[in-house]
Amino acid sequence: MQNPFDDTYFMKRALVEAETAFDKGEIPVGAVIVCKDQIIARAHNLTETLNDVTAHAEMQAFTSASDYLGGKYLKDCTLYVTLEPCQMCAGASYWTQIGKIVFGANDIHRGYQKMQTTLHPKTKVVRGVLSEECGKLMTKFFVEKRNLN
């Protein structure tokens, strides 16, 4: 029997978080962290709300997941995020020792791959899950933002 809790399922949950960010006027990036098919953290960008450049969805999710688990290492967890992590978030993922990262859209300007940031050697990466949907939300956000200016 197929497990209904696959990467697509959890990326859809991350997209819900991204839509929440969009509705708040935040750059629409959403993240969830999963451990044993259970979402233990949900987050979205809060950089504008908190006036904090480090308040990325991933950073918020790492803090929440670590608090939930009672420890700083996320070795048995998976991060689902709608946009490729930036250098800062990839670095934080290194320190959490997260087991797997699944992301939607590539960030060709500021993504960890472009910046050549190293992930933890044991972290597995899956790219492009629901990339079209994730990318469309980002495009919509920036088109609307440009039209307001």
Contact 126, 14 (CB under 8 A): no
What's the distance, CA 91 to chain centroid?
13
What token pair was written down for 52? 């904090």
Describe the strand order of the beta sheet including 38-44 as a list of residue ranges. 38-44, 30-35, 77-83, 100-105, 124-127
How many C-beta atoms lie closer than 10 Å to residue 3's C-beta? 7
Distance, in Å, from the CA atom of 114 to the CA atom of 86, rounded to the nearest integer, reads 9
Catalytic residue of the set 17, 19, 26, 58: 58
**Could you give the count of Cα atoms lying within 13 Å of 85 in the half-sphere of its Cβ?**
31
**Annotated catalytic residue 144:** no
Specify the 3-state DSSP secondary structure of 134. helix
Q: Which residues are catalytic, by number?
A: 58
